[in-house]
Amino acid sequence: MRARSGVLVLLLAGCGARSSLDEPGERAVDCVEPTVEICDGVDNDCDGEVDEDIAPITCGDNGCETTVQCEDGVMPACQPREPSAEICNLIDDDCDGSVDEGFGFGPIGDTVVLRSDEFNTGDCTSCSWAWGTTLAPIEGGFLALWNLGLYGGEEQPTLYGRTVDAAGQPTSFISLLRRDFLIELEPIAALDPLPSRGLPIEAIYRIGADDIFGLLFVTPEGATETLRPISARGAYNVQRTVWTGRRFVSAWEEEDRLHVAVLAPDGSEERRVEVDPLERPASITLGIYRDRVGILVSRYQDDPQPYSQWFLLLDAEGNVIEPAHQIDVEYASWQRLVGTEEGWLHIRPNGWDEPSTRQRLAIDGQPLDGPATFPDLRHFDDSGLGDIFVPRPAQKETFAAWQDPHGGAVTVELLDARGDRIRGWSGELGSAGDASGAFVSPHAAFLDDRVLLTWHGLAEDAQPNTVYVRPFGCVE
């Protein structure tokens, strides 16, 4: 009997919160049989652990949500945070489900000059103009880069750049990034996640007497990698290639027919897409949104209507969802196709003295309404150089920045699916040293609810122009 009693004592000591060997003053609880674990400092289920797997308790709504968890055998009372006045801090202060609402969207820092002249770096002595301004996310900030134009002379390396922090402040000197001879950089529309090689940029390389289309990748470490050739070619300043978060999709004209290709994440061609070749394409514009790619093709035809508009819909893997079909949308050169939650916005620049129009399209490209001018009668540049539209599916909005081709103030804004402003800012960019005040080839990079906007100005022939960056966000 003595031996059996010893075994019983050991079992009771091992299955329960405490035994007679606990510290003085602590209560001893015997575990007669396992029960469900609760927050009481006791090993209720007799597994040798105390208060394990106790679910936290959450209370409150939106930004006032509070969570408490079991600590030292006690579950604290859950008290939601009290709402407070909304301020610009990326927090839902008033707990209504919206962040930083009621504020404008404007500059939160000064305009920073990134480049005015880099003749003291490298040997590109015949360079003057900077083009293709781009911001690529890298570890610790961004890499700002641009390519230089040439005025005669032998081919010279043209890709320059410098690193900046999250506020756009330079963290390095200007440096020659590659020894390639680049004549154009065109940042492509790219959805998250980016390919593992980093931010992709469409590039045109001059090799001998030929212009070769390719990709330039900026890796997360800040290095640059090139891939050439790729399939896309055609008009500048429109999307020829997009990144869906899974694949690249390219569309171009070759031998007077439409061609479409799917590229793997490393940029190599994976396959050609079987599509209606759509003979005599006049222009090709790509749009992108979550899980879909739209291809808008204008075709030459006989008078009295010189152009017809056709639309194809692909998924994120580059598979055809809707084959090419004609849509009742009026043609314009340098037309934009902007992805939205409900479908697409077709933006038509129109003539020099005419306001631009917008028209909502369904996902398959069919019009949802007729073309209409913007409330402020804005006019976008009919060369595609003076504006940028970036779909942001996670936020169900579009970021836009633009300047009227006649010059003047720049507008930075967030748009809804109809193209109406959610919030925005208009004003002078403070382009010190650039008397033209021009806003050319803008590109945007995002960080939470903030955006860095880069662009270049104008200058006299054979004189260096200036590259700028400025941070934007909500302002009080």
Instruction: Write out pLDDT tens, residues 184-219.
Output: 899 999 999 999 999 999 998 888 788 889 999 999
Same domain, yes or no, for 307 and 195?
A: yes
Mean pLDDT for the chain overall: 86
Domain residue limits at 5: 1-60
pLDDT, one tens digit per residue, over 417-439 is: 999 998 899 998 865 545 568 99
Residues 43 and 187 in one domain: no
Instruction: Confirm whether 70 is domain-assigned.
Output: no
The torsion angles phi and psi of 448, rounded to 5 degrees, stand at: 55, -125
224 and 369 in one domain?
yes
* 226 lies in the same domain as 339: yes
In which band, very low, low, confident or very high, does the pLDDT at 401 lie, cut at 50, 70 and 90? very high
Any domain includes 99: no
Residue 52 and residue 137 in one domain: no
Q: The domain spanning residue 426 has which CATH number?
A: 2.130.10.150
CA distance 189 to 112: 25
Q: At 448, is the pLDDT very low, low, confident or very high (cuts 50, 70, 90)?
A: confident
- Backbone φ and ψ of 179, nearest 5°: -100, 15
**What percent of the chain clears pLDDT 90, i.e. is strictly above it?**
59
Same domain, 32 and 108: no
How many CB atoms neighbour CB 20 within 10 A?
Answer: 8
Residue 81 lies in a domain: no
Predicted confidence at residue 456, as pLDDT, reads 93
Residue 233 domain-assigned (yes or no): yes
Q: What is the value of pTM for the model shown?
A: 0.79
In a domain, residue 385? The reply is yes
For the stretch 31-43, pLDDT in tens is 668 888 899 999 8
Q: How many domains does the chain have?
A: 2
Q: What is the pLDDT of residues 115-164, one digit of tens each?
A: 988 766 556 666 788 999 999 999 999 999 999 887 655 567 889 999 99
Q: 122 and 19 in one domain?
A: no
* Omega prior to 83 cis, within 30 of 0: no
237 shares its domain with 158: yes
Please check whether residues 180 and 303 belong to one and the same domain. yes
Euclidean distance between CA atoms 246 and 203, whole angstroms = 20
381 and 448 co-located in one domain: yes
Tell me the pLDDT band of 473, cut-offs 50, 70 and 90: confident
Same domain membership, residue 450 and residue 365: yes
The model's confidence at residue 82, banded by pLDDT at 50, 70 and 90, is: very high
Q: Confidence class of residue 4 from pLDDT cuts 50, 70 and 90?
A: very low
pLDDT digits (tens, 9 = 90+) for 224-251: 999 988 887 776 667 889 999 999 999 9
Q: Are residues 51 and 160 both part of a single domain?
A: no
Mean pLDDT of 272-276: 94
Q: Is residue 96 part of a domain?
A: no
Q: Is residue 174 part of a domain?
A: yes
In a domain, 91, yes or no: no
pLDDT confidence bin for 11, thresholds 50/70/90: very low
